[in-house]
Amino acid sequence: MDLPTKKFTVTRADLVRYAGASGDFNPIHWSERFATKVGLPGVIAHGMLTMALVGRAVTDWAGAPDAVLDYSVRFSRPVPVPDDETGTEIEVSAEVKSVTDEGHTVLAITAVCAGEKVLSQARATVRTTRLGK
């Protein structure tokens, strides 16, 4: 079973707000010059912001934050964020991989930005009773 795709827009303004909330003012998240100097394609989203947005999709699918029993990801590609009003879009999808002996649902999650997978080995285990409602 596939779950409905969720889409999240990330703009440079979002990066500023996240930096203020998290205290992560690394210049790769705000300075084009610095980001390209260190080999990145440009300013990139904070990895933990990307993980949080994907986590939001998981809690939406699960029906409530407390229905998420386990959640993990590996970062595989950066999420470049252009300097415009449009920003970029992260598209999150999931597939039910299995149901545990306890009746919990294991999800395999995919997060894509500009046609590229940005997370690998992304998984969540959720209480099945509320899944997709």
- Which residue, chain included where needed, has tokens 């407390």? 66
The CATH number of the domain holding residue 44 is: 3.10.129.10
What is the residue-averaged pLDDT of the chain? 95
Please count the structural domains in the chain.
Answer: 1
Do the domain assignments include residue 132? no
Helices (H), 44-127: 47-62
* Bridge pairing between strands 88-99 and 104-113: antiparallel
The tens digit of pLDDT for each residue in 96-126 reads 999 999 999 999 999 999 999 999 999 999 9
CA dist 110 and 96 (Å) reads 12
Contact (Cβ atoms closer than 8 angstroms) between residue 126 and residue 58: yes
Comparing C-alpha atoms, which of 80, 88, 79 is closest to residue 11? 88
Do the domain assignments include residue 90? yes
Contact (Cβ atoms closer than 8 angstroms) between residue 99 and residue 46: no
Do the domain assignments include residue 110? yes
The tens digit of pLDDT for each residue in 52-71 reads 999 999 999 999 999 999 99
Half-sphere exposure of 133 (CA within 13 A, CB side): 9
Do the domain assignments include residue 18? yes
Contact (Cβ atoms closer than 8 angstroms) between residue 75 and residue 50: yes
The tens digit of pLDDT for each residue in 73-92 reads 999 999 999 999 999 999 99
Do the domain assignments include residue 133? no
Do the domain assignments include residue 52? yes
Cross-strand pairs, 108: 95, 123
Helices (H), 38-132: 47-62
Residue 18 belongs to domain spanning: 3-127
